[in-house]
Homo-oligomer: A and B are copies of this chain.
């Protein structure tokens, strides 16, 4: 957390990000107040279009983004194109090295794995498209049955809604459990506090494979 009392959470956006991957966690983190500043970032500043249509404004580009204490990386259909975006992967590599905690939701962990920053760590991902992440690196200890996984500086959640539970867990870690519980109550959210709770494991890799790219040849 550097020397400051105020942390900065940077959400990294890209075309066709999944709405709730971003806004579930940002609802919870945004309830912290002045101790936590939320910024939005994309390769180019300006409106970024989600998979569902609505556009969010990225206030910073990769080039003028301030130092980040926390990073949030969503998934979504756009993940597939971004796996080939070296500018994004480089940004993630550089910023994750200096962040207190780097978080991903859903297929966002595929991008972190492709960037190489999850190597040697435990991580999870979206259930229906788990192989999209798992095929990016065989040096990650992939955990399929998990609502989210925390391993040191990294926290990765399962699909979409799971990011909300992960966000509250990280809030509990950084600001105390009572704070997290108060935020969950205020947002009328039934927080799943057990990171191993995962009723969606039954859908493992049962997503529509036509939406996925060919598997990377060198990885498992």
Contacts and interface: CB of A to CB of B under 8 A. Distances in A.
Contact of A52 (B38, B57, B59, B162): B38
A187 interface: yes
A205 interface: no
A40 interface: yes
Interface residues of A, number: 46
A189 B160 contact: yes
Copies in the complex: 2
A206 B164 CA distance: 24
A20 B39 CA distance: 17
A53 B60 CA distance: 14
A178 interface: no
By secondary structure, the A interface counts as mixed
Interface in A43-101: 47, 50-57, 59
Contact of A20 (B27, B52, B185): B27
A127 interface: yes
A161 interface: yes
9 contacts: A19-B26, A19-B27, A24-B24, A30-B52, A128-B185, A159-B187, A160-B186, A186-B207, A190-B192
Given A37-B53, A126-B188, 8 more contacts: A11-B54, A47-B57, A56-B56, A127-B188, A128-B185, A161-B164, A186-B207, A188-B200
